[in-house]
Amino acid sequence: MKREIVVVTSAYGNDRVAALGGQQALLPVIAAAGADGVEIRRELCSARELEDLGTLSAAIRARHLFACYSAPEPLFTASGQLNPLLPQLLAEAARLKARWLKLSLGEAPRTIAFDGLRDCLAPGSVALVIENDQTPNGRLAPMQRFQATCRVNALPVTLTFDMGNWLWVDDSPEQAARHLAPSVSYIHVKAASPHNGQFRAVPPDTSEPERWSALLRQLPDSVPRGIEFPLEGADLVAVTRRYVNLLREE
């Protein structure tokens, strides 16, 4: 079975997305590069686009791509409550006909309101995946606790494993993979290199390629891989195709 590759629209840079007229303008590039899916970023949608996600969905399907939807929102608020925007975000993902909605974890309480979360994730709704972000809540320990809670209580929530984000929070990507791999349903592929006392996302073949290749082998082989490192150059189709092929074969 062919490995599915997703291109995250923000990989082209927020300024370039805006200059091109929005995320829909990138669909021909992503399709021509041979990708299988596109990750639509809510923060890059205008108010008008959010009101007309059905049109964007139709454009995605016309290019024979599938969609996933990412929102810069936590599952839990700073006070440990379920994010009140969750039903709205799931509805937006449904209008986009997205396979899943991706959120960060936020301030997950030790005791989760299972019924409220289950109600939002009723059968037939869009799947929910939680990503390790670049905040303390995205560190391995809280992600492990949440993973265990979901497993014990049969909550239909899986994880997005962002390969590079672990470095931002001073955790080991390899250790995280050992603990979290069974719950991973989507991989954000990116390497990270030191930059001005912090890190910056880079393509996985430009910084410690052996390390990132080995990390991918620790993770489930059958789940989609998303390109979330910078895609730059005069010929965006060629640049994108190169990495689509690389990640499909890696």
108-154 pLDDT, tens digit each: 987 776 778 888 888 777 999 999 999 999 999 999 999 998 998 88
pLDDT digits (tens, 9 = 90+) for 20-51: 999 999 999 999 999 999 999 999 999 999 99
d(CA 115, CA 203): 41
Give which of 40, 204, 70 is closest to 131, Cα–Cα: 70
Task: List Cβ neighbours of 222 (8 Å cut-off, separation of 6 or more).
Answer: 1, 3
Cα–Cα distance, 136 to 45 (Å, whole number): 27
The DSSP letter of residue 82 is B
The stretch 215-228 carries a mean pLDDT of 97
Q: Which range marks the domain in which residue 59 is found?
A: 5-249
Number of domains in the chain: 1
d(CA 206, CA 146) in angstroms, rounded, equals 33
Cα–Cα dist 10/20, whole Å:
12
The pLDDT score that the predictor gives to residue 215 is 96
Q: Could you tell me which residues are beta bridge partners of residue 74?
A: 104
| 12: Cα within 13 Å, side-chain hemisphere | 29
Q: Which residue has the higher pLDDT, 152 or 224?
A: 224
Integer CA distances (angstroms), 6 to 80, 110, 174, 197, 227, in order: 31, 33, 22, 30, 6
Find the CATH number of the domain harbouring 146: 3.20.20.150
- Considering only CA atoms, which of 125, 126, 165 is closest in space to residue 143? 165
